[in-house]
Copies of this chain bind each other. A is one copy, B any other.
């Protein structure tokens, strides 16, 4: 019996911090994993494997790596970890997949499944990803906190996925309110990402400025109002004060973090703001809920994109 017995073939599309961590944990447990990423990543992994530097272990893991999307051929499960701005990738992905293959969207935002389904005929499930991780150098993943998933609702597919991750020591909870769970993460992202980017500030600096925190508050209230109008119930956030306490906890725990949106702006890259405050602005307009602050955060980040 080989270590790989019983594992499906798994492909990671977009081998950054998220794809690297979760794909790496599966590979470490024995799953046959192929990671599709940039040339520098592929070169590093082919040479020395993928180095997982986690809170629990430091270990080089053997994975296949390719720059070609066609390397997904034969995969039963695809961890889809590209930025939301690259959702159209699934159009090229769809024809390469086995019948019955499952794409797991491990992205920010709440409308990736909708976007992916609109563009390609693939079976796709959303996952809420909670992990603090970065790529300090190609082929290396540094994990600094959490590392768990929420999927749902419970059915044969989600139970199988949860079992696979559990076997790889990755906590994977099944929720009957997966949409609400996605929105909970959206609340945090809408609260902090753009403020950090536009204010060129770390989370701790936002938390310690009462004026900046008032912006976070207004943004959170707007997101919860849109959620309410859309009939979504982000678990645990029924009371806006609890939501704000949660945002403050994140900002304090991650005091030294600059948001991914801020990092993208500084590198002159496109951000995911369309899927974050931009989504709230659009959805609020559809539902007749005013979202002036989310709209401003979205529009200002868009304006600043490519002008680092």
Q: Please give me the residue from chain B that is nearest to A213 by CB atom.
A: B299
Structural contact, B304 and A198, CB atoms closer than 8 A = yes
Report how far A205 CA is from B305 CA in the complex, Å.
12
Structural contact, A303 and B218, CB atoms closer than 8 A = no
In the complex, whether A215 has a CB less than 8 A from a CB of chain B is yes
Structural contact, A304 and B218, CB atoms closer than 8 A = no
Interface residues of A in 251-308 (CB under 8 A from B): 292-293, 295-300, 302-304, 307-308
In the complex, whether A195 has a CB less than 8 A from a CB of chain B is yes
Residue from A292, A302, A307 with most neighbouring chain B CB atoms (10 Å)? A292
Structural contact, A214 and B299, CB atoms closer than 8 A = yes
Q: Please give me the residue from chain B that is nearest to A209 by CB atom.
A: B303
Structural contact, A212 and B302, CB atoms closer than 8 A = yes
Report how far A300 CA is from B192 CA in the complex, Å.
12
Structural contact, A300 and B209, CB atoms closer than 8 A = no
Interface string of A12-39 (1 = CB under 8 A from B): 0000000000000000000000000000
For A, the interface residue count at a CB cutoff of 8 angstroms equals 26
Structural contact, A201 and B307, CB atoms closer than 8 A = yes
Interface string of A203-236 (1 = CB under 8 A from B): 0011001011011001000000000000000000
Contact of A214 among B295, B297, B307 (CB under 8 A): B295
- Chain B residues in 8 Å Cβ range of A209: 299, 302-303
Structural contact, B201 and A299, CB atoms closer than 8 A = no
Interface residues of A in 75-110 (CB under 8 A from B): none
Per assembly, the copies of the chain total 2
Structural contact, B307 and A200, CB atoms closer than 8 A = yes
Contact of A293 among B214, B296, B308 (CB under 8 A): B296
- Chain B residues in 8 Å Cβ range of A300: 195, 198-199, 212, 215, 300
Report how far A299 CA is from B199 CA in the complex, Å.
8
A198-B198, A304-B201 as given contacts; A212 in contact with B292, CB under 8 Å: no
Contact of A303 among B205, B292, B307, B308 (CB under 8 A): B205
Structural contact, B292 and A218, CB atoms closer than 8 A = yes
Residue from A201, A296, A299 with most neighbouring chain B CB atoms (10 Å)? A296
- Chain B residues in 8 Å Cβ range of A297: 296
In the assembled complex, the CB of A206 is this many whole angstroms from the nearest CB of chain B, namely: 7
- Chain B residues in 8 Å Cβ range of A201: 303-304, 307
Structural contact, B200 and A299, CB atoms closer than 8 A = no
Contact of A299 among B212, B299, B302, B304 (CB under 8 A): B212
Contact of A218 among B195, B215, B296 (CB under 8 A): B296
- 9 interchain residue pairs of minimum CB distance: A199-B303, A211-B299, A200-B307, A200-B304, A198-B300, A201-B303, A215-B296, A212-B299, A199-B300
14 A-B pairs with CB atoms under 8 Å apart are A195-B303, A198-B303, A199-B300, A199-B302, A199-B307, A201-B303, A211-B298, A211-B299, A212-B299, A212-B302, A214-B299, A215-B300, A218-B295, A296-B297
